[in-house]
Structure 1
């Protein structure tokens, strides 16, 4: 999907490099040098067919982007000269239409943030419009995303250098999802897995589309299906396709030429897969990706929030793909007109904006020693080394098969040093059923405990939000009705320090002992704290004692809710001034 977005950048980057004071190759004095072209090495060229004109080499990437920008700028300058406009154009002096394009296409899915309303509507008052534009221009792109590709990294690098747009970026969203050699070690294996993936995606679109005589979606889906899927036998055709088909297909027109074209398409896709895999490996070697992101973040003055996730959308809240960037009709047209866009989305398992969650069983490395996990461990430190102190870190990942990590104590010390000014920390760990493991021991959570403890080891923290699914930490096979001393505890994360500035804490599905809960409460410096604890597994002790701890901490404020002895999944509230505690307890027994 990244390439389909990048194909729109001729509109987006008409403003890039417009400012005379902006030099795409310049480097501020004293700043670590990173250039997307030179620092990405040339390893991908040797390993992945750099001579193929369809896929530019890494060293050509930045030059091709800049050439596109220069051509767009020259065309725009020519238009201005033709109209008799000779003064240099700044962002504030662009037309409403062009500025609307920039705001519309440059803006990515901004999480829960809304686009500025005047980005799409004319403002009749010229003075008011100018004031709005001057106010909005540094904030055109509050969130920017980056994937583990050279093109995406180069885009982040260029955005960070822009004197206006770079100043407005507040959040950098890093997608850790990366290609994996998986079990795809041959062309036949690659085609087998991706053939089925494409077939299911097209069948789903056709089954949801309106009849062909009323729209184009079915027609384009059918054409794509005919080009790349049909084998003449009809066996692979879904019943929904048969029902919605635009014409009767009996396999007679599935000529030798069609079969050869399909073979060429899948061979091209496999070569592209090998190229992107080699490119990704060149980015992860010698921490090229980490240093590139770290330098870009440090270059943007307001970028103090880091959002790390392993998918290109917020699956924890089940957000659907952004309708503007992931329109089914638009993507169908892109796939229909440009097979390179289709190939990249097939490889990345993100056809029509929906990432395929069913490929996890193919992955050979789902542990915390994988390349994706190294971003979790090392990216905050890379940003800190580049000169930026993060204030907000949000991490959303699927639980790995093994939380043990190869990180050294020095690595965790660097991580802790990088988060000393952190004010908010969010950690959501969901699970995939294919990752479930029947055998867990406390030592297997050692890496997770060290990781979370290193991040929250700061007096500056004001808000903590930790949400773990039971299966993500191996509790899915336990009897939740009975205490189990062998359950691994995460209590060390909460008991290892004092919390002088903590004002809000949310804990869900976090196992710990009663003694650890009591120590954590004692370490709080204030009772004026919003606390939300849900589905907590109390490994030892009783919740009747636990509720007494909360009531004593809240200075005897009135307790509202079910009595403790019922052990029901009730919601219980404690109030202490402006503070509040919300408890949602599992129906399990831990003593009397």
Structure 2
């Protein structure tokens, strides 16, 4: 006679319950460096998938919520494989395009390539020498001597690469650099093959179309200091020195090696390719400076197509990571205008770093009504107070609740604080160095506003018993 009580195991739990467990397990991780969080979270799900078939089928879509794509054949093939996986593809929510690139001026000239790599080594040496001079009291004499020896060795490597190809009598480091150069050239050829006839954009768009959950697209320059080295000793290892020799350039780094060939066109082509496949994205983030002189200003027809491709956006972010030192900035204007010229946009984040005195609201933010706009954050931009008033008047008072101004400058003579307080806003933030004086904020304060001083500015909240019910409460 079988026992009346049968013990149940974890495999007897419904898939919905297992999924809840695995979601918690994915978020339970210990990252000692706080820099590899994504790797640690993925590792947990990798281990779950290896346990058994049931665990694998239930947890696979948790493995990747974001996928990086680089402009090389290996990365594109990996992305295609992920997009075709029946389980993993379902969980992907965001695609990040890494826009670092291999420069034609380096790939086509061994001497230029050698000079560039020598400069990279010298930059590391200078950083280490700065540490020695600044913090020498923190190190023992033995450590300081070792660091000085590393600097000396680094300069020897730089000297060998500085004159690459100019002598028939080549040593170890010259031969290593030649090997790196051959690989660099092959990666450049792959990149250019993918850039021809929009191949890269079409491949990525087709992959995204197969991923029903993808709603966010990001364009990034080199992220998370991926190719930076903080110690010469790192470069004493063959694998690490080869990694540096074949690594791509950031857009900023590539400015020093013209004629450069940054893949600017992908930022324009991919949204258009997605529109052709009827893929609707709700979030777009640009973390690369679009002020490139290499690309012509888009035609009126192309601008109209780009605007049409952006109509499903709810969130737009432009986070330029460098100061715009030279023209043209027209590409930036065209792109942001296209992204924001839709009635569905809900959140806008612009971090511009421009040295020009051109009004953000006049140049990049369309003159239109904003029925769905909820939140705007602006950093390091210039604006005219009259344009700010016009923008606020076009917002829906029942929806638009927050405006953040960080390190902004303006002209027009009007009281910015007064403009903001008389608007539909219930909540706004001003970094006080943008206002010029803290007293400007405090002396103009009125009882109907709560002021919260923070480390870098002031946060204003409208008193709940003052404003109308239509605006809601905090």
Quote the residue 1:382 is aligned against: 273
Task: Show the counterpart of 1:115.
Answer: 41
Q: Are 1:346 and 2:245 matched, yes or no?
A: yes
Tell me the alpha carbon deviations over residues 109-136 of structure 1, each in whole angstroms, 9 at most, x when there is no partner: 888897269548889xx9xx98876553
- Checking the alignment, whether the CA contact within 8 Å between 1:558 and 1:574 is kept in structure 2 is yes
Distance 1:578 1:343, change over 3 A: farther
Separation in 2 of the partners of 1:178 and 1:431?
17
Q: TM-score, normalised by structure 2?
A: 0.69
Offset, 1:395? 0.8
Partner secondary structure for residue 307 of structure 1: strand
SS of the residue 2:386 aligns to: helix
RMSD: 4.8
For 2:186, which of 265, 275, 285 is the aligned residue?
Answer: 275
Structure 2 residue 325 is the aligned partner of structure 1 residue 436: yes
User: Aligned-pair distance for 1:515?
Assistant: 2.6
Contact 1:403 1:446 in 2 (8 A): no
Q: Is the Cα contact below 8 Å between 1:143 and 1:171 reproduced in 2?
A: yes
The offset of 1:225, in angstroms, is 6.0
Corresponding residue to 1:150 among 53, 73, 78:
73
2:421 equivalent to 1:551? yes
Following superposition, the deviation at residue 271 of structure 1 comes to 2.4
After superposition, the C-alpha distances for 1:315-339 in whole angstroms (9 at most, x for unaligned) are xxxxx659xxx9999x959x8354x
User: Structure 2 stretches of 5 or more lacking a match?
Assistant: 1-17, 133-138, 430-439, 446-455
Indicate if the aligned counterparts of 1:425 and 1:465 stay in contact, CA closer than 8 A: yes
Q: CA deviation at 1:203?
A: 8.4
- Paired with 1:300 and 1:557, the residues of 2 have a C-alpha distance of 37
Matches within 5 A, 1:19-58: none
**Contact conserved, 2:69 with 2:96, CA < 8 A, in 1?**
yes
1:185 and 1:558 map into 2 onto residues whose CA distance is 52
Distance 2:44 2:37 in 1: 19
Normalised by the size of structure 1, how large is the TM-score? 0.57
Q: Which residue in the other structure is 1:456 paired with?
A: 340
- After superposition, where does 1:243-262 map in structure 2 within 5 Å? 259-262=170-173
Task: Tell me the secondary structure at the aligned position of residue 388 of structure 1.
Answer: coil
Match of residue 376, structure 2, among 505, 512, 520: 505
SS at match of 2:383: coil
Please give the alpha-carbon distance, in whole angstroms, between the structure 2 residues aligned to 1:578 and 1:111.
37
| 1:421 is aligned to 2:308 | no
Tell me which residue corresponds to 1:394: 285
Within the candidate set 237, 242, 252, 1:336 is matched to 237
Higher deviation after alignment, 144-153 or 197-206: 197-206
Tell me the matched-pair count: 404
Q: Distance in 1 between matches of 2:313 and 2:156?
A: 52
Unaligned runs of 5+ in 1: 1-91, 237-255, 314-319, 476-486, 581-592
Instruction: Say yes or no: does 1:197 pair with 2:77.
Output: no
CA offset digits 1:29-48 (Å, max 9, x no partner): xxxxxxxxxxxxxxxxxxxx
Do residues 177 (structure 1) and 100 (structure 2) align? yes
Name the SS for the 1:398 alignment partner. coil
Q: Partner of 2:342: helix, strand, or coil?
A: coil
CA-to-aligned-CA distance 1:356-384 (integer Å, 9 cap, x gap): 9655322334xxxx652212222111122
Aligned-partner Cα distance in 1 for 2:195–2:428: 55
Q: Does 1:363 align with 2:274?
A: no
The 1:224/1:347 distance shift into structure 2, 3 A limit, reads: farther
> Cα–Cα, structure 1 residues 153 and 532, in superposed 2: closer, same or farther, change >3 Å?
same
SS in 2 for 1:345: helix
Tell me the residue number matched to 2:331. Answer: 447
Distance 1:363 1:504, change over 3 A: same
